[in-house]
Structure 1
Amino acid sequence: MEKNKIIAKCKYCKTKNSKYSVINGATTNLWTHLKKVHPALLGISKSQRTLDLYKFDDRISEVIEGRFKNIIEKISKFHVVSTDTIKRDIMTKYIEMRTNVKIELHEILGKIAFSLDLWTSSVVKAYMGVIVHFIDQNWQLQQKTLDFFKIEGSYTGKNLANELIQVFEFYNIESKINGITVDNATNNDMMIYHLELWAIDKDISFCTNNHFHCFAHVVNLSVQAALKQLKDEIDKIRNLIIKSHSSPQRHQKFLEISSLNNIKNLSPILDVPTRWNSIYNMIQRALNLRV
């Protein structure tokens, strides 16, 4: 320490000229010394220095194959595998697990049930998740994810039915289908209708009576209808939360006011309208924050 300065000395060259000051935690001097005098320690060549040292917005694959990989290998002597190796290992494990599930479902003597859901990503791509439920040979309730795939084409009931039939046929479980649980969307009703037509053609015991509406979805619709009676009050709470989060300055001011009223480490919770329990959490937190 020299007058509130930390002096760092390079352990590789250990010369008097390798002393650098560290002020307020800044390590620029140390980094400059390494890249100029000891570039090999960072796994870079002279022609590579400027290009690699300042690539902070790389894609994941570039980070794994680039400077990050070199640093990890130099620091810990840890060999970072390539993206191709990671991909190959994941696919090998996936195929192994899928094969085991296929064998397990084949050995089941009774019927099996399914629950499905559609999900749309932030880039407007639709996916279907398929979960199977069954009693195993030890009389234990089991559930496994059979598939999660991108929906190609339109979201009509017929198209959804065709996508689901491909899953049934891959696992060779067409004759074991019992009930299918989905939410109340109209295209799901049409999907069940087209599944019934397919089952009749294949002489499979399945009809629209095997269609079950998701209880949680039904409850959510009921609660949403009841919450309309409190729309004005809920909108006021929601708008206050949105305003308090509209800028870092407003959020900081909110925290300061809360602290003055002995309310600490609590922030408002903004609801997700399609999840009624999130509305409950929003109201509960608002009551906790009320002065």
Structure 2
Amino acid sequence: MNNGSSTGNLKRHLKSHSDKFDPSMAKQAEFMKNFLQEGNPQMTFTNKNFRDKLALWVVADDQPFTVVESDEFHDLIKLCNPMALIPSADTVRNDVLDTFKNYQTTMQNLLQNSPGKISFALDGWTSPNVISFLGITCHYIDADWDLKDILVDFVDLSGPHSGENLANVFTKCLQDKKILTKILAITTDNAANNDTFFKEFEKVCNENHIDFHHKRNHVRCVAHIMNLAVQEILKHIKAGEAQDEDSILENLSSGTISTSKVIPRVRSK
């Protein structure tokens, strides 16, 4: 047995605390419970911790708030811990909103106190049910020289996807979090409205005496550039005319064509 393993550590711990052994099963269970909780107070169950974890699970697994009203869910939780108080769907909703507000406060403090400038990345799209969103992420180096990536906002866009509208939404996001002055650069794709966005945002920065240039501080997304390049290449090449499988097998069996000629070849227009 490896003395450095978890089992070895447990064995040494039990030997050094032999006075705690008791033949009673209840005492042994209590001893093991205390041992497992040593140095890990988070393992202690409280209904507050349960509600916090429940809210995180609902968000992470995209569960409906009403999942807590299921009889099977109640049975599962009571099996795990009969002392658990299962909140209502409305309470779960409020807990999720409170968690979001706490996250926003923590994130804002982190960004405001970051030692240097912050880069941002923006991307907008429309969902299948025709709702427009703008995702905003930020990237910076913290005091320990670690690269940090944070989701700053996920905005429900109203109005057109014009550069002016995007600039207004992005500016409001940074002003609300009091980090407008910390901007370094912005990464976007090559959509035409982004050119207008950068020019409009440059005006905002000039009004606030912030050094920002619509070209110098614009980082174009490399993945999008590669995608555009590949699409342009594909416009100028095409595959040979396809044959159905019966024709291919017939030609092969008769020896009319060789195997190498069966494979369609890509050729220039």
Partner of 1:228: 235
Deviation at 1:212, TM superposition (A): 1.3
1:174-201 per-residue CA deviation (whole Å, 9 max, x = no partner) reads 1111110000001111111100111111
> 3-state DSSP class of the match of 1:188?
helix
> 3-state DSSP class of the match of 2:134?
strand
**Aligned pair 1:65/2:69, yes or no?**
yes
Matched AA of 2:103: M
Q: Is residue 72–residue 80 contact of structure 1 (8 Å, CA) maintained in 2?
A: no
* 1: CA distance, partners of 2:196 / 2:232: 25
**Aligned pair 1:193/2:199, yes or no?**
yes
Deviation at 1:118, TM superposition (A): 0.6
Matches within 5 A, 1:1-291: 60=64, 64-65=68-69, 80-208=86-214, 209-232=216-239
**Aligned residues between the structures:** 180
* 1: CA distance, partners of 2:123 / 2:111: 21
Deviation at 1:63, TM superposition (A): 5.8
Partner of 1:41: none
> 3-state DSSP class of the match of 2:150?
strand
Give TM-score scaled by structure 2 length: 0.60
1:8-33 per-residue CA deviation (whole Å, 9 max, x = no partner) reads xxxxxxxxxxxxxxxxxxxxxxxxxx
Partner of 1:16: none
Change (3 A) 1:102 1:73: closer
* 2: CA distance, partners of 1:173 / 1:112: 9
* 2: CA distance, partners of 1:124 / 1:182: 22
RMSD of Structure 2 on Structure 1 (CA)? 2.9
Deviation at 1:166, TM superposition (A): 0.8
Q: Is residue 66–residue 89 contact of structure 2 (8 Å, CA) maintained in 1?
A: no
Q: Is residue 115–residue 131 contact of structure 1 (8 Å, CA) maintained in 2?
A: yes
Change (3 A) 1:179 1:63: closer
* 1: CA distance, partners of 2:166 / 2:64: 33
> 3-state DSSP class of the match of 2:209?
coil
> 3-state DSSP class of the match of 1:221?
helix
Give TM-score scaled by structure 1 length: 0.55
> 3-state DSSP class of the match of 1:129?
strand
Matched AA of 2:100: Y
Change (3 A) 1:63 1:109: closer
Unaligned runs of 5+ in 2: 1-62, 246-269
Unaligned runs of 5+ in 1: 1-58, 241-291
Change (3 A) 1:73 1:217: closer
Change (3 A) 1:168 1:60: closer
Percent identity between matched residues is: 33
Deviation at 1:223, TM superposition (A): 1.1
Deviation at 1:101, TM superposition (A): 1.2
Change (3 A) 1:138 1:60: closer
